[in-house]
Structure 1
Amino acid sequence: MTTAEQVYEAVKPIPESLIREILDFVHFLRVRRGSTPERAEELNLGYAQETSLKKVWDNLEDEVWNDVPAL
């Protein structure tokens, strides 16, 4: 029996109101892991922004700011 089948068997006897909570949790896990199309798009955009700003962030002139203590 696959894990998905085990989950299905475990959920079958649970009342509908609790199944909704389980489904919400599954959606949470998918978003957290980035397995939704929306989350994947956000991650791709973040990577593109990071790549574009690498020259701005990683330069010797701004290196001194790395040692400034936090307030």
Structure 2
Amino acid sequence: CSFTALAAASSPPGVIAGSLAGHGVATLIAVLGGSLLGTFLSEKIISYIGGSLFLAFAAVTLVEIATS
């Protein structure tokens, strides 16, 4: 359900407040999770993991494009 459709079917201030709250919670989890990972893993290992995930997602996207 898109933001516009939800706002049209519901109270727009409620949709905006819920969206802001959800984004805030997701950001908080990302920041705390990153901080926690930073205490256990070195920056170099995190970079390797991030690069590997980027390449994996790129490969999956390439396969999906080629097969469609």
TM-score, length of structure 2 as denominator length:
0.37
Q: Going by fraction, where is helix more abundant, 1 or 2?
A: 2
Q: Which has the larger radius of gyration?
A: 1
TM-score, length of structure 1 as denominator length:
0.36
Query: Which structure carries more relative contact order (alpha carbon 8 Å, separation 6+)?
Result: 2
